[in-house]
Structure 1
């Protein structure tokens, strides 16, 4: 029988620093919740809004897979490997911190806010060579479809990371239904509702709700209103 956990939007951690308004699905910085440290290999899911002209100064990471998904606006990235890039809505960025990397992220606009998801996944291999990648996806390709944007395989669809994890984005019309088949035994899926309303495995979810499901091979998804969702399949044991 499938196991599930519901994290309603209004139960997330919240920190408003003025220039940064951040909601945390899992323990992060000043928000520490012993019952919400991680979901399997998914360690961080931050829903961030950064004011125009502001950003995160240069800071280090190691042994973590870091994914950024802009939702509104553009994010500017620089790192110690010499990468300089702008990540736009429709793009997905991955950074393998591995043996160690330093990077900065800031709002590319001086006046309009940028909204993006910052996601951390524990890797399946420690001390790898740091790497950076980003890829653009057409927004129309996720219409009534679960578009794969992250995978463990460089030859597969989407950016790849050092973990048996698959991410999918969907923009679903009201009434659309589909099934999600898990890619690997022992994995679970953490669903995050970006907009609208959906039911997953019979659980009604609203905007910014999080829902984890595991010990199952597949589950149903139905859009109860026009909706956008992110599915993050990750190992439950790692």
Structure 2
């Protein structure tokens, strides 16, 4: 039996922040007022949230430290506005927006649709060496089935990957260079990762590993990997 160091984060046990019916955020790790001694984020990871905004609603966030903010729409699209004079950006499904912010900088996420709910992943990773800018990474999972596609990377910091798999498809992920820890998050479907069963929105943290295996147990299952040093 596999004995690799691992922690499972079940979807139904996530913390939650909400403002009436306009905004709701599920927190895999400690974030804001949600604090749990067993939910400390690993390494440079500061937040891994799933946010929803009702039609026409917006949320203003502020970076607590120099960080990379990663926004990945799951349903619909979002408009992102920075307070540093950069143009507003529309980010739709199939696109990852990475924003480099300094401590104290603000950014607004808005639902541009009046009648529809939008949902997106909101990931924050601290950055030791600050740089300014933003990056849009578009991808088509239909062209990368049964494999992992690298969306973003910071040397000695993190790798952010996504993959879509057919049922019973298997994959072996190798962590190279400084990366020895991996946070796995299931967007859709069911996976078995290192002999651990994960459903949609479940997470798994594997530590001090150089390689791990997973298998999709349902068709069109989608998995995210955040590899950390």
After TM superposition, give the deviation of residue 222 of structure 1 in Å: 0.2
For residues 86-165 of structure 1, what are the structure 2 equivalents within 5 Å? 86-125=90-129, 128-152=130-154, 164-165=157-158
**Alignment partners' CA distance in 2, 1:94 and 1:205:** 27
Once the two structures are overlaid, the 10-residue window that deviates more, 94-103 or 225-234, is 94-103
Write the deviation string for residues 112-169 of structure 1: whole angstroms up to 9, x where unpaired. Answer: 11110000112132xx24221212112313321111101126xxxxxxxxx5211111
How many residues align? The count is: 223
CA contact (8 A) 2:66 2:128 kept: no
Aligned to 2:167: 174
**Alignment partners' CA distance in 2, 1:186 and 1:74:** 31
CA contact (8 A) 2:44 2:157 kept: no
Write the deviation string for residues 72-110 of structure 1: whole angstroms up to 9, x where unpaired. Answer: 101001112322110000000111112542221101211
Using the size of structure 2 for normalisation, the TM-score is: 0.92
Aligned to 2:217: 224
After TM superposition, give the deviation of residue 190 of structure 1 in Å: 0.2
Name stretches of at least 5 consecutive residues in structure 2 with no aligned partner: none
Name stretches of at least 5 consecutive residues in structure 1 with no aligned partner: 154-162
**Alignment partners' CA distance in 2, 1:139 and 1:109:** 25
**Alignment partners' CA distance in 1, 2:113 and 2:174:** 39
For residues 1-238 of structure 1, what are the structure 2 equivalents within 5 Å? 2-17=4-19, 18-57=21-60, 59-61=61-63, 62-81=65-84, 82-125=86-129, 128-152=130-154, 164-185=157-178, 187-226=180-219, 227-235=221-229
CA contact (8 A) 1:52 1:113 kept: yes
Question: Residues 123 and 202 from structure 1, CA distance in 2 versus in 1: closer, same or farther, beyond 3 angstroms?
Answer: same
CA contact (8 A) 1:2 1:213 kept: yes
